[in-house]
Amino acid sequence: MTANTLTAPAQQARSGPGPLPRTALTAIAPAVWGTTYVVTTELLPPAHPMFAALLRALPAGLIALALTRRLPRGDWWWKAAVLGALNIGLFLPLLFTAAERLPGGVAATLGAAQPMAVALLAVPVLGQRLSGRRLLWALVGVLGVGLVVIGPRAQLDALGIAAGLGGAASMALGVVLTKRWGRPEGVGPLALTGWQLTAGGLLLLPTTFLFEGAPPAVDGRAALGYLWLGLVGGLLTYALWFQGIARLPVTAAAVLGLLSPLVAAALGALLLDQTLGAVQLLGFALALASIVAGQLPDRTRRPVRR
């Protein structure tokens, strides 16, 4: 890896809009991902999580490749494959599996553990010191999400719990490696998004038909759901997400993921007649406080000496 083939994340962070607009643009991604739960349960055919993941990833990736006309070079072939597997090929089917097998609140709370995983992984992968403040606020965020979305009658499913935790771990490692590797010089976020979506989609292609067999029947409602998840929830939001990871501190970007379950809960209240009581509103306040605190700089953070 040479300086003329890779743009350092620090250099990327100095370009583009200021911190607040960067944060707002990055926050769009997890906010849109919060619609996954209602779309999955209300529009998509049941019992086909891998097919939903495949349609979310591969068509959007091929569209991005067609628009950018850029392919990886050198070691970015395997880096794109690794990132595509972690951020797409493993994460998406685990996400849909958790959404189908668990109440949306339980699945969302497990996914909210991602900021804590990112904070822990940033120590060995990025050489950052472990921040007790960030871990504490990440825990507050998980608690807040749990208060918002887990009801007293929430049923637990072992496979669903494993899928939820596995998805959080996969995405956390993908986020940290995306921050470490940055982007090749001259390659924009849409091209990087296309590489990962395509790599993840190609990984999903054989496994989907191996484990789920023939695709389900797709009616008009399902087609609308797949289009939303693929074009908006896939192509657009992943481009914003990967651009945000390059420009924001990795833990600050990760904690924005708490917006996903909050949006899911808000949509449940608006569209599915689910109620939000005093406990849920307290959870919203805690989760939002965690998001805001996660954007504040950690003045004590220094690189780990090697």
User: What is the residue extent of each domain of the chain?
Assistant: 16-294
Confidence of residue 221 (pLDDT cuts 50, 70, 90): very high
Quote the pLDDT of residue 97: 80
pLDDT attached to residue 144: 83
Q: H or E stretch including 6?
A: strand 6-7
Token pair, residue 222, equals 């399902």
Selection from 18-27, 238-247, 294-303 with the highest mean pLDDT: 238-247
Q: How far is the C-alpha of 7 from the C-alpha of 190, rounded, in Å?
A: 16
- Rounded (to 5) percent helix, strand, coil in the chain: 75, 0, 25
Examine the pLDDT at 264 and tell me if it is beyond 60: yes
- The span from the CA of 235 to the CA of 238, in Å, is 6
The predicted pLDDT at position 58 comes to: 94
- Integer CA distances (angstroms), 5 to 141, 184, 196, 233, in order: 38, 5, 18, 30
> What is the pLDDT at residue 270?
81
What was the pLDDT predicted at 12? 44
Residue 243: other Cβ atoms inside 10 A: 22
Query: Mean pLDDT score of the chain, rounded to an integer?
Result: 82
Predicted pLDDT at 237: 93
CB 260 within 8 A of CB 114: no
Contact 106, 154 (CB under 8 A): yes
Distance CA 81, CA 290 (A): 32
d(CA 299, CA 306): 20
Quote the percentage of the chain above a pLDDT of 90.
Answer: 34
Whole-model pTM over 0.85: no
What pLDDT is stored for residue 69 in this prediction?
A: 93
- Is 44 in contact with 226 (CB distance < 8 Å)? yes
Strand partners, 303: 128
**Tokens 């996400």 correspond to what residue?**
95
Q: In sequence order, what are the beta bridge partners of 6?
A: 184
Tell me what pLDDT residue 57 has. Answer: 93
pLDDT over 60 at 1, yes or no: no
Cα 99 from Cα 108, distance rounded (Å): 8
Q: What is the pLDDT of residue 152?
A: 54
Q: Between these two residues, 178 and 5, which has the higher pLDDT value? A: 178
Instruction: Please tell me which residue, 109 or 95, carries the higher pLDDT value.
Output: 95
